[in-house]
Amino acid sequence: MPATLFDKVWQAHTVRILPNGQHQLFVGLHLIHEVTTPQAFDMLRARGLRVAMPERTIGTVDHIVPTRDQRRPFIDVMAEDMLSALERNCREHGIRLLNLDSGHQGIVHVIGPELGLTQPGMTIACGDSHTSTHGAFGAVAFGIGTSQVRDVLASQCLAMDPVKVRRISVTGRLGRGVYAKDVILEIIRRLGVKGGAGFAYEYGGDTIDRMSMDERMTICNMSIEGGARVGYVNPDETTLAYMRGRQFAPQGDAFERATEWWRSVASDRDASYDDVVEIAAGEIQPTVTWGINPGQSVAVDERLPSNADAEALAFMGFAAGQPVKGTRIDVAFVGSCTNARLSDLQEAARIIRGHRVAPHVKALVVPGSQAVREAAEREGLDRVFLDAGFEWRGAGCSMCLAMNPDRLEGREICASSSNRNFKGRQGSPTGRTLLMSPAMVAAAAIAGEVVDVREFVGAEVLVGR
């Protein structure tokens, strides 16, 4: 029977069907971080249990780490306590921790792929909603809550309901200055922030096929913002080329053997789907959110909808029908697991080279991992950003959710390459977030307001693939 990748991977990892109809699913890789684990380990301890498979569990630190001064102990006592607890728990249970001094620290969804921990055909769980990022490799990857983190620690399994599969096919050439971020914002705008509930999203079509792994990760990362807990791209030659030589990927003959399995999990050509959506790449424009969820967006040269949600307008201080272009910003943030990989930084640097950040704008670049930061420095990108007036920080989640010192203040407006524009997301209860691509953030930082990156003077804008 022809099958989708989702069905193949799901079936291969189903241990048994439970009496309540749920599937007991084996988890191939469990990524843990400092925020959603302390309670889970306490629950384990209270029951006298050990971690079932420490070798399939990897500890990461990202949400609470300061990005300006990462020396220990952290000034924030709560952050220090959280990291100390994770260190203790990892030590006690024999779990590898990619700590600040490891050279591999970074945002969990950046370092998993970067190190080759994330592999096609795997099931991957992490106590973070944006775990769908790893689906870019053809893994079935999803975010879980704290009690599920406990379950995976104790049994390496989860009780889950299978979901339906929606194929989202993007075809044709992307226009100049249109990026993967614009593609996923457009998908969420069309299908709604709850449109993916009960579905896994399979992204395909020649536009996605031409994308790099970094771009595919950006797309899969925001699946959850469209309501889909799982988003994936079928593994192909681009995937295999990325995997080759990664530290935790199989090496030598083992790699060749693994590629057979990886190729086999891709959806069959004649697989059937529960739903199919087709999107023409040529219709997608550089996109900016204007509201309080990632589905509330417009093309940068459009006006806000005449029937725009009243609560969102009131919070943002916008009026229905006004242009988004020209909105004055206070902060520009290039970072997060959506857009803080090397290619994102390269693209932002192309825009700002030779320019200066507007005097009223605070601008920061936060690489997704120590490896990204080092690679960027080898190319001299840090100098490009610093010369333009950006701050160049250490790796972490930073202002994506502000569980660390990087936060908006008061009613500040932030042009952000992150993934959520919920009320209060960036640290100030009244702070406002405009989501956009890193190139658009860079252009906004220089102009001091939202601009169309395609018209930005001197900008070398990527020609769509």
- Return residues touching ligand SF4 (CB under 6 A): 62-63, 107-109, 128, 130, 336-337, 397, 400-401, 418-419
Residue number, 132 or 285, with CB nearest to ligand SF4? 132
Residue number, 279 or 337, with CB nearest to ligand SF4? 337
Residue number, 400 or 440, with CB nearest to ligand SF4? 400
Residue type, 302: E
Q: What is the 3-state secondary structure (H, E, C) of 104-167?
A: CCECHHHHHHHCCCCCCCCEEEECCHHHHHHHHHCCEEEECCHHHHHHHHHHCEEEECCCEEEE
CB of 425 to ligand SF4, least distance (A): 9
Strands 57-60 vs 14-17: parallel, antiparallel or unpaired: unpaired
Residue number, 369 or 419, with CB nearest to ligand SF4? 419
Residue number, 119 or 336, with CB nearest to ligand SF4? 336
Residue number, 24 or 129, with CB nearest to ligand SF4? 129
Of 126, 129, 163, 130, the residue nearest 148 (C-alpha): 126
CA distance 352 to 261: 43
377's enclosing H/E stretch is: helix 370-378
Residue number, 165 or 400, with CB nearest to ligand SF4? 400
CA distance 129 to 337: 11
* Contact predicate 173/208, CB 8 Å: no
42 CB contacts (<8 Å, ≥6 apart)?
none
DSSP 434: E
Q: What is the dihedral of CA 424, 429, 432, 436, to 10 degrees?
A: -20
CA distance 30 to 258: 20
CB of 185 to ligand SF4, least distance (A): 15
Q: Which sign does the torsion angle of CA 421, 422, 423, 428 carry? A: negative
CB of 322 to ligand SF4, least distance (A): 29
Residue number, 111 or 233, with CB nearest to ligand SF4? 111
176 CB contacts (<8 Å, ≥6 apart)?
454, 461, 462, 463, 464
CB of 107 to ligand SF4, least distance (A): 5
Residue number, 105 or 259, with CB nearest to ligand SF4? 105
CB of 188 to ligand SF4, least distance (A): 15
CB of 420 to ligand SF4, least distance (A): 7
CB of 128 to ligand SF4, least distance (A): 5
CB of 397 to ligand SF4, least distance (A): 3
CA distance 435 to 292: 10
CB of 396 to ligand SF4, least distance (A): 8
